[in-house]
A and B are shown apart, each in its own frame.
Chain A
Amino acid sequence: MSNASMADDFWMDSEAGPVVRPYAMTGGRVRPAAPLDMVAYVVAKAGPRTRAPNLQPEHRAILAAARQPITVSELAAHLDLALGVTRILLSDLIEQGLLSSYEPNVSTVQPSERILKAVLNGLQAL
């Protein structure tokens, strides 16, 4: 046994990825309760967390990182979690009322002319 674990230590560095299988953090769930866009913003709700004693460390890390509005993609990148895993953990927090999400408006085919003009001016001013 000790030989085997030494061999693991020898071969497993950070490049090998997380030792915990990614979807173990989600209890094997592979789909979030609600879809979240990659650029949806999430924000932790203010208030005591004592009502949610069964949070995993990853849940708490997300709440800490989402004190200010942050997009799903950035959150996943900062916490080094796969996008799918992040979405499931986020939907847990949304279900428990600990986090709010704001979807980008993808109902329209293209952004309005007003937004496009603002983007154009912003890019030109860079």
Chain B
Amino acid sequence: MASKPSDPTRVPTALKILIAGGFGAGKTTMVASVSEIRPLQTEELLTEASTGVDDVSGVEQKTTTTVAMDFGRITIDEEIVLYLFGTPGQDRFWFLWDELALGALGAVVLADTRRLEDCFQSIDYFERRGTPFVVAVNCFDDDAEEHTPDEVREALDLEPDVPLVLCDARSRASSKAVLIALVQHVMAQLRRPTWPVALVR
């Protein structure tokens, strides 16, 4: 008790970054490629009322669905730790998104050029919420070069100030560059005096 090696109440600041996008766009791959730990999985149970076909008794049938989220970690220094959450894409899981987006540093929307429409929901969500985000086009196939960044930007109807980057989610260096682009974007927004802070809450 005489000497404490470290103050036990000192804990790092944990910052959340969301990795969103459609099914198979490479969310888990990106989390795995930059995380310092093997990605962990956390589960939330979702109980929903469902109407059965034999709903004669008027008794609600309830089903429990397990929603799994993969997450990874990057320790920046003693004070700051980043948590990357691969977010489940289906819209009935928005309640989880709301919790994740609260206080999040920002988000990466992974786009697969073969199914660009899969990321519309994520883009809409972050735009409405005012969460800063970048769009990362995952070029895991060589056919991605058929689409120029400008074409993708136009197809997604992105605001001009939203960064769009090409990436390979399997590559640590490439995924790292995406996160750097996101942080730079957040900093640029912070410096902009017209940023609608009041609307974000």
Interface on A for B, CB 8 Å cutoff? 17, 22-23, 37-41, 43, 46, 69, 71, 73-74, 76-78, 82-85, 100, 102, 104-106, 109-111, 113, 115-120, 122-124, 126
Which 9 residue pairs are nearest across A and B when measured between Cβ atoms?
A106-B103, A122-B76, A39-B14, A77-B40, A41-B11, A69-B11, A83-B44, A102-B11, A120-B183
A95 to chain B, nearest CB (A): 19
A85 to B71, CA, bound (A): 18
- Chain B interface (Cβ within 8 Å of chain A)? 8-9, 11-16, 34, 40-45, 66, 71, 73-74, 76-77, 79-80, 82-83, 85, 99-100, 102-103, 105, 130, 132, 172, 176, 179-180, 183-184, 186-187, 189-190, 197, 200-201
Contacts A71-B14, A76-B42, A109-B197; A119 near B99 (Cβ below 8 A): no
Q: How far apart sit A105 and B104, CA to CA, in the bound complex (Å)? A: 10
Say yes or no: A84 contacts B44, CB within 8 Å: yes
For this complex, 13 residue pairs linking A to B, each with C-beta atoms less than 8 Å apart, are: A69-B12, A73-B42, A73-B83, A77-B41, A82-B66, A104-B15, A104-B16, A105-B13, A109-B197, A110-B105, A116-B105, A116-B186, A118-B80
Partner of B79, one of A43, A118, A123: A118
Of A39, A40, A73, A124, most buried by chain B (CB within 10 Å of CB) is: A39
In the bound complex, do residue A110 and residue B190 qualify as a contact, i.e. CB atoms below 8 Å apart?
yes
Assembly CA distance A102 to B13 (angstroms): 9
**Complex interface: chain A residues within 8 A of B100 (CB):** 38
Contacts of A85 in B (CB 8 A): 45
CB-nearest residue of chain B to A113: B190
Nearest CB of chain A from residue B65's CB, rounded to whole Å:
12
Given contacts A38-B100, A77-B41, A106-B102, contact A118 B187 (CB under 8 A): no
Q: Once the chains bind, are B14 and A43 in contact (CB under 8 Å)?
A: no
Chain B residues in 8 Å Cβ range of A17: 66
Pair A116/B187 contact, Cβ less than 8 Å: yes
Give the distance in Å from the alpha carbon of A22 to the alpha carbon of B45 in the complex.
9
Q: Using Cβ atoms and an 8 Å threshold, which residues of chain A touch B186? A: 110, 116
Residues of A within 8 A of B12 (CB): 41, 69
The smallest C-beta distance from A100 to any residue of chain B, in angstroms, reads 7
In this complex, what residue of A is CB-closest to B39? A77
Roughly how many angstroms separate A85 CA and B43 CA in the complex, as a whole number? 10
CA distance A110 to B106 in the complex (A): 9
Residues of B within 8 A of A113 (CB): 187, 190
Q: How far is the CA of A76 from the CA of B43 in the complex (A)?
A: 8
For B179, what are the chain A residues with a Cβ–Cβ distance below 8 Å?
123
Please tell me if the beta carbons of B80 and A115 are within 8 angstroms of each other in the complex.
Answer: yes
A109 to B187: give the CA distance in the assembly, Å.
Answer: 13
Residue pair B42, A77 in contact (C-beta under 8 Å): yes
